[in-house]
Amino acid sequence: SQQGEEDPQALSIQEGENATMNCSYKTSINNLQWYRQNSGRGLVHLILIRSNEREKHSGRLRVTLDTSKKSSSLLITASRAADTASYFCATDANSGTYKYIFGTGTRLKVLA
Amino acid sequence: DGGITQSPKYLFRKEGQNVTLSCEQNLNHDTMYWYRQDPGQGLRLIYYSQIVNDFQKGDIAEGYSVSREKKESFPLTVTSAQKNPTAFYLCASRGFGRAEAFFGQGTRLTVV
């Protein structure tokens, strides 16, 4: 399968705690993106990190990228109940085909 | 408001029927995608199109067909050849030179 892998598959934390989820991928990439999906809805783009970047921040989100290990992590700080959703990484394969390869997702539940 | 619209939100199909899912975008995006999502799973690419009157098969194109007669529209037909069509279908689009994808709200197809 070309799909990336994410871990953990599911994560349950208390409000105010930090949530970390990881993504591994298989091919060389131009960039890696993280998306959020609320139950039964479409995906929403959160943040993009390019292959020549190592870390990026956006509000409460922090993304790291290690191209030597073909892995990325998404950290959500000071989580809120509204952060409850599934989170997916997507890689933009360095192939010129404009195809994304999505990970299997992490289901995050933030308990109030 | 600019966006990507999928309809209907819920669709029921009888055995042996073809059904068509609509996807329209007013973002002036060149590339459009169809994904299938099964419960608790990631996204799998069915078809994508980078230009009007041209489209490419994704990883799971068997049993599906698409057309791209207009830039704004990329309908997906689920044919009777698709043996297990019950799933959540997501349409997405991407602007030229941009990395992030914009998703519709999805169509949930159920075989009855």
Measured between alpha carbons, how far is B16 from A50 in angstroms, rounded to an integer? 45
Contacts of residue B34, defined as CB under 8 A and 6 or more positions apart, other chains included, come to B21, B23, B45, B46, B47, B48, B58, B64, B66, B74, B76, B89, B90, B91
pLDDT at A97: 65
pLDDT at A3: 60
Nearest CA in chain A to B55: A97
In the block, which residue shows the tokens 């959020």? A36
> Looking at beta carbons, which residues of chain B come within 8 Å of A41?
105-106
Instruction: Report the gap between the CA of B8 and the closest CA in chain A (Å).
Output: 13
Average pLDDT rounded to a whole number, residues A66-81: 97
- Asked whether the beta carbons of residue B99 and residue A30 sit closer than 8 angstroms, the reply is yes
> Looking at beta carbons, which residues of chain B come within 8 Å of A3?
42, 44
- Asked whether the beta carbons of residue B41 and residue A105 sit closer than 8 angstroms, the reply is yes
Measured between alpha carbons, how far is A45 from A87 in angstroms, rounded to an integer? 10
Measured between alpha carbons, how far is A69 from A22 in angstroms, rounded to an integer? 12
pLDDT at A1: 43
pLDDT at A98: 74
Residue B95 in contact with partner chain A when CB distance is under 8 A = no
A103 → closest Cβ in B6, B42, B108: B42
Measured between alpha carbons, how far is B88 from B17 in angstroms, rounded to an integer? 18
Convert A29-66 into a string of H (helix), E (strand) and C (coil): EEEEEEEEECCCCCEEEEEEEECCCCEEEECCEEEEEE
Residue A80 in contact with partner chain B when CB distance is under 8 A = no
pLDDT at B97 over 50: yes
A12-52 pLDDT tens trace = 999 999 999 999 998 888 899 999 999 999 999 999 999 99
Residue B94 in contact with partner chain A when CB distance is under 8 A = yes
Strand-pair partners of A65:
A72
